[in-house]
A and B are shown apart, each in its own frame.
Chain A
Amino acid sequence: MNADRKIRIGSGLGFYGDSWQPVRASIERGEVGYIGSDHLAELTLAILQKDRARDPSLGYARDMLPMLAELYPLGRDRGVKFMLNAGGLNPQGGAAALAESFRKLGLHAKIAVVTGDSVLERIDELIAAGETLAHLDTGAEISSVRERMVFASAYLGARPMAEALARGADIVLTGRVADAALFLAPLVHEFKWGWDDYGKLAQGLTVGHLLECSGQASGGNFGGDWQSVPDIAHIGYPIAEVSADGTAIITKPPGTGGLVSFDTVRQQLLYEVHDPRNYFSPDVVLDMSTLKLDDLGDNRVEIKGASGKPRPDKLKIVGGFHDGYMGEASLAYSWPDALKKAKATASIVQTLLVERRVKYDELHVEYIGHNALFGAIAESDASENLNEVFLRMAIRSQDKRVAEGFRRNFPWLALSGPPFVTGGGIQGTTELIGIWPTLVRRELVETWVKIEMIEV
């Protein structure tokens, strides 16, 4: 192998519903060989579960269909391959829909489908095999939520995806996998890294972690001097240029907006990692404390020095269980006394809930324009003279009728409540999903992992 050979991987989506327009520049001008697309935030499976409950053929991230219809032809002549976890709760259903879409468009591709992450149907079997599946943080027993579980998926690693690439896949579609593994897999495949070469795997995982949130490593959602980020309208998603030893340059396509700098890259480095010395993935445990970030200028940041520790014996499962319903409503109050009036209305509604003996688990009141985002930390300096305040109230109840009936406490207040009120945004009722993180011995999941190839 040519030691100077570099693999370029670009970010796809960072969540279900993200924009793929910036990916065009990565393909057309970024010389990428791979796009890794992360459609599954932690709570996305809760959204997909609701889809699947309505229609069993659904349960995958449907945005991948128009995305690949547009991007796959663009990348085909350049040999660009796509790694996506858009299969969600139903990778096979997603692959079937994708194949159907490609046939209609006259597109040809080898699609690999990775399954085996979903363990909902195997919970009893896992318990019988000695797993408690207790809540990872609280230690609570799974029996408390067992009957209400609506999904449970293990985070798979890069291995089945690398194998799918070795079998010639153009598109690798998975369900739940570690987000960063979408990017680690092509590197292992291309550079033939060993699964025990933890230093290189740690570098690859770092690259994946930096790229899994689309624009967040190229100046998006930059919680520093955000006004210094140029031309966000045409932001370029990050691209990693990786060498065989794992050293990587994070950059973005030429002629795009955004900013790749020491500051924007390190913000993403620490994003949602908990302990940066022990960032767990199915393939390697990453220690970020030895990393060296070098801002080379011109939107190029070099990353090297990651340390890796052996992969864990257990995989993480995240399950979701039905946890009641939310009913919500809002009303808008103008100056004068905007906040006072909104507070008075909240108090009126609370009085009625008590008098009518409405049973609920929790009532949440927030004043948009004053404290909806900061809650108890909000300062009240300016609250006397606010132009306007939205009152938003939300109730949680195990009883769907209570959640649905909650909004009926509001319309009458337009004519009979405090003055200068408008914009009664009466929202619907939302099913709430509690999250159940737990661990499982990896062999109890990995023996069930399958790769299926579909040729269109």
Chain B
Amino acid sequence: MKVRLNRIAHARSGDKGDRADIGLFAYDAATYAVLKREVTAERVARHFQGVATGAVERFDLDNVWALKFVLNAALQGGGSRSLRIDNLGKTMGAALLRMEIDAPENLPRLSARSAD
């Protein structure tokens, strides 16, 4: 089924120079495995087309069920020269949580939600 990431994961984002830096966190090991498979650097780069113009890097942190995405050339040259209201990319984590992926229906968060 198609699932928005915010149903199964949480995120925080910030900046470093012209890079946006997004942590994506699974609530459980099963979901983490799905995120690793589905949320590739290529998909994230496509998702942020028109916002981030540089390459996207992904770093996996299995010990805390987290993926770190670094979006290069994402902040119009950096916070102190950007013309955007969100000059520091603080909401880019939310933008990532809007992405839809294919996920099995039996993920813990999905079945917990449908039960209530």
A contacts, CB < 8 Å to B: 42-43, 46, 137, 216, 221-225, 263, 266-277, 288-293, 318, 320, 323-324, 326, 328, 362, 364, 366, 368, 372-377, 379, 392, 394-396, 432-435, 437
B64 in contact with A291 (CB, 8 Å)? yes
For B14, what are the chain A residues with a Cβ–Cβ distance below 8 Å? 271-272
Q: Would you call B39 an interface residue if the criterion is a C-beta within 8 Å of the partner chain's C-beta atoms?
A: no
Alpha-carbon distance A368/B85, docked complex (angstroms): 9
Take A270-B61, A290-B63 as given contacts and tell me if A263 and B10 are in contact as well, using a CB distance cutoff of 8 Å.
yes
Alpha-carbon distance A437/B17, docked complex (angstroms): 8
Alpha-carbon distance A46/B79, docked complex (angstroms): 10
Alpha-carbon distance A394/B76, docked complex (angstroms): 13
Alpha-carbon distance A326/B85, docked complex (angstroms): 12
Take A274-B16, A276-B59, A435-B17 as given contacts and tell me if A377 and B86 are in contact as well, using a CB distance cutoff of 8 Å.
no
Take A274-B16, A292-B63 as given contacts and tell me if A267 and B83 are in contact as well, using a CB distance cutoff of 8 Å.
no
For B70, what are the chain A residues with a Cβ–Cβ distance below 8 Å? 274-275
User: 17 pairs across A/B with beta carbons < 8 Å?
Assistant: A216-B12, A221-B12, A223-B11, A263-B25, A267-B10, A270-B66, A276-B59, A276-B61, A289-B61, A289-B63, A291-B63, A323-B77, A362-B83, A374-B91, A374-B98, A376-B48, A392-B85
B91 in contact with A373 (CB, 8 Å)? yes
Alpha-carbon distance A292/B68, docked complex (angstroms): 17
Alpha-carbon distance A375/B51, docked complex (angstroms): 7
User: Smallest distance from the beta carbon of A397 to chain B beta carbons, Å?
Assistant: 11
User: Smallest distance from the beta carbon of B27 to chain A beta carbons, Å?
Assistant: 8
Alpha-carbon distance A203/B12, docked complex (angstroms): 22
Identify 5 new A-B residue pairs, CB closer than 8 A, beyond the known A137-B19, A273-B68, A292-B63: A137-B17, A223-B12, A272-B21, A435-B79, A435-B81
Alpha-carbon distance A366/B48, docked complex (angstroms): 16
For B88, what are the chain A residues with a Cβ–Cβ distance below 8 Å? 43
A273 in contact with B78 (CB, 8 Å)? no
For A372, what are the chain B residues with a Cβ–Cβ distance below 8 Å? 84-86
Take A42-B79, A137-B17 as given contacts and tell me if A275 and B59 are in contact as well, using a CB distance cutoff of 8 Å.
yes
Q: Would you call B102 an interface residue if the criterion is a C-beta within 8 Å of the partner chain's C-beta atoms?
A: no
B86 in contact with A433 (CB, 8 Å)? no
For A270, what are the chain B residues with a Cβ–Cβ distance below 8 Å? 12, 23, 25, 61, 64, 66, 68
Tell which of B11, B61, B78, B80 has the most Cβ of chain A within 10 Å. B80
A272 in contact with B97 (CB, 8 Å)? no
A396 in contact with B23 (CB, 8 Å)? no
A366 in contact with B84 (CB, 8 Å)? yes
A274 in contact with B21 (CB, 8 Å)? yes
Take A366-B85, A377-B51, A433-B81 as given contacts and tell me if A223 and B61 are in contact as well, using a CB distance cutoff of 8 Å.
no
For A373, what are the chain B residues with a Cβ–Cβ distance below 8 Å? 85-86, 91, 94-95
B85 in contact with A432 (CB, 8 Å)? no
Alpha-carbon distance A368/B64, docked complex (angstroms): 35
A267 in contact with B79 (CB, 8 Å)? no
Smallest CB gap from A291: residue in B: B63
For B98, what are the chain A residues with a Cβ–Cβ distance below 8 Å? 374, 377, 379
Smallest CB gap from A46: residue in B: B80
A266 in contact with B64 (CB, 8 Å)? yes
For B49, what are the chain A residues with a Cβ–Cβ distance below 8 Å? 376
Smallest CB gap from A390: residue in B: B85
A288 in contact with B10 (CB, 8 Å)? no
